[in-house]
């Protein structure tokens, strides 16, 4: 059997490794548009802030050679033709397949006029990120404007500020990471961001990126203009679905999959930031573009590609910040009918409950209880018997095992 995998990020590489490990006789060919060994985009900020490669090349730079994966790097996919079981590359090569895995990831975007102008950096691409960081290190850039203060926008701001740039972070809503943080948690994070010397412009809407041949200005709806040497559009992550645009494979925001991660085309699967899956808690269909989901989906796809019948239980909304000055973890919903909280300075524990069950939580400072809360949430455990003690710093796994 021949399996072709489009994308070499966490989902694609996990699937490739699992297939080769379980079925050494299966040929696996993995394609990446970037000229690098398989890497983890979520680790780029850590890589540039610490200088370490170990998290970026998380399976090792020689992983494809070790596992016998045929790896084509530096060449993009032009289109997919499911009816012919064929993948066509931009260099003219055509690859046949028995099973196809779409793991092409996503890219940063902003639904703003001019967001496609040259000169706007994409920090989801290692090639683009290296070029951006190189400009900063060589003194070719002294300032940056980042549109979008979501998870990636904040991490990019921290990287560029650490490199000595003057950084302005613009967010249309009233707080940073609005999809991830409630107002109280965001206020703690905002204080740390400002302490790092980053200028925050909250509640500020951008009307356009402007320039004749490349981005030269950010125009605000207020009429104000922001100029910088570097511009980053980071209001969201958009799945890379262009190669399947005319394939007939079902797409909404991301590639539509069932609970086995099968697409609408026979023998074609999807995983990672390109796949639209159900949320494990809410049941809503969404693209949950985070590392743990991508890895889990890669494992499920690998099993089903090899003929198993493994059900994907659903994705989680889960993020963590390490470099903002204090650890921050956000999991699940950011509100609920009931709330338990305790705060000591900037150390916050906040749980959101519905019918006695945890539907989300936010932790800053002391995040040791994250694993316990996540386990209780996924099990759908009724936690009312614990009462306010649930958010006390002394609460631990022992309180569950030894009631």
**For residue 71, which phi and psi values (nearest 5 degrees)?**
-115, 120
Pick the CATH number of 108-237 from 2.40.50.140, 3.40.50.10490, 3.50.50.60, 3.40.50.300: 3.50.50.60
Instruction: Supply 69's token pair.
Output: 């994966």
pLDDT in tens, 254-288: 999 999 999 999 999 999 999 999 888 777 888 88
**In the sheet that 285-286 helps form, which strands lie side by side, from edge to edge?**
255-256, 275-278, 285-286
CATH architecture of 2-105+240-305: 3-Layer(bba) Sandwich (3.50)
pLDDT band at 209 (very low <50, low <70, confident <90, very high): very high
For the sheet containing 268-270, what is the strand order?
70-73, 27-32, 2-6, 99-102, 268-270
Percent of the chain whose pLDDT exceeds 90: 67
The architecture of the domain spanning 326-401 is 2-Layer Sandwich (3.30)
pLDDT digits (tens, 9 = 90+) for 26-82: 999 999 999 999 999 888 887 887 777 768 888 999 999 999 999 999 999 999 999
Neighbours of 86 (CB within 10 A): 15
CATH 3.50.50.60 residue ranges of the chain are 2-105+240-305, 108-237
Helix (H) / strand (E) containing 72:
strand 70-73
pLDDT band at residue 402 under the 50/70/90 scheme:
very low
Average pLDDT, the chain: 91
Q: Where in the chain is the domain with CATH 3.30.390.30?
A: 326-401
Contacts of 134 (CB under 8 A, 6+ apart): none
Question: Residue 83 pLDDT > 70, yes or no?
Answer: yes
Half-sphere exposure at residue 66, Cβ-oriented, CA atoms within 13 angstroms? 10
Instruction: Give the pLDDT score at 398.
Output: 58
pLDDT at 235 (0 to 100): 84
How far, in Å, CA of 115 to CA of 109, rounded? 7
Q: Is the dihedral of CA 294, 298, 300, 301 positive or negative?
A: positive
Distance of CA 111 to the CA centre of its chain: 18
Is 122 or 214 the better-scoring residue by pLDDT? 214
Q: What does 82-149 look like in DSSP terms, one character per residue?
A: GGGTEEEETTS-EEE-SEEEE---EEEE--SBTTTSTTEE-TTSHHHHHHHHHHHHTTS--EEEEE--
Give CA–CA dist 163/27, Å, rounded: 43
pLDDT beyond 80 at 403: no
In angstroms, rounded to a whole number, what is the distance separating the alpha carbons of residues 193 and 176? 10
């Amino acid at each position: 059997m021949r399996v072709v995998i489009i994308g070499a990020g966490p989902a694609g590489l996990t699937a490739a490794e699992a297939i080769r490990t379980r079925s050494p006789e299966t040929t696996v060919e993995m394609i990446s548009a970037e000229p690098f060994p398989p890497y983890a985009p979520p680790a780029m900020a850590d890589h540039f802030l610490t200088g370490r490669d170990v998290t970026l090349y998380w399976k090792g730079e020689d992983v494809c050679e070790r596992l016998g994966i045929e790896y084509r790097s530096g060449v993009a996919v032009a289109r997919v033709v499911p009816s012919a079981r064929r993948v066509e590359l931009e260099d003219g090569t055509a690859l046949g397949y028995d099973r196809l895995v779409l793991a092409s990831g996503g890219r940063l975007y902003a639904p703003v006029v001019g967001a496609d102008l040259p000169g706007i950096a994409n920090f989801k691409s290692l090639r683009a990120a290296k070029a951006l960081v190189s400009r900063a290190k060589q003194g070719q850039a002294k300032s940056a404007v980042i549109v979008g203060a979501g998870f990636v926008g904040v991490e990019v701001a921290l990287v560029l500020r650490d490199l000595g740039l003057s950084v302005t972070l613009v967010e249309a809503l009233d707080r940073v990471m609005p999809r991830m943080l409630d107002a109280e948690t965001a206020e703690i994070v905002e204080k740390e961001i400002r302490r790092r010397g980053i200028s925050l412009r909250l509640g500020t809407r951008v009307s356009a990126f402007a320039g004749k041949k490349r981005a030269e200005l950010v125009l605000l709806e207020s009429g104000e203009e922001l100029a910088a040497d570097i511009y980053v559009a980071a209001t969201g992550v958009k799945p890379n679905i262009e190669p399947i645009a005319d394939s007939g494979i079902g797409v909404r925001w991301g590639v539509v999959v069932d609970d086995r991660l099968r697409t609408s085309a026979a023998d074609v699967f999807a995983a990672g930031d390109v796949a639209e899956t159900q949320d494990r808690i809410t049941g809503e269909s969404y693209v949950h573009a985070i590392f743990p989901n991508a890895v889990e989906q890669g494992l499920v796809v690998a099993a089903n590609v090899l003929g198993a019948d493994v059900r994907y239980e659903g994705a989680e909304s889960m993020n963590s910040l390490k470099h903002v000055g204090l650890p921050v973890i956000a999991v699940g919903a950011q509100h609920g009918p009931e709330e338990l909280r305790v705060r000591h300075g900037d150390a916050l524990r906040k749980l959101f409950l519905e019918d006695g069950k945890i539907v989300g939580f936010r932790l800053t400072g002391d995040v040791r209880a994250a694993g316990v809360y996540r386990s209780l949430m996924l099990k759908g455990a009724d936690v009312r018997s614990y009462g306010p003690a649930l958010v006390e710093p002394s609460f631990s796994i022992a309180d569950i095992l030894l009631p």
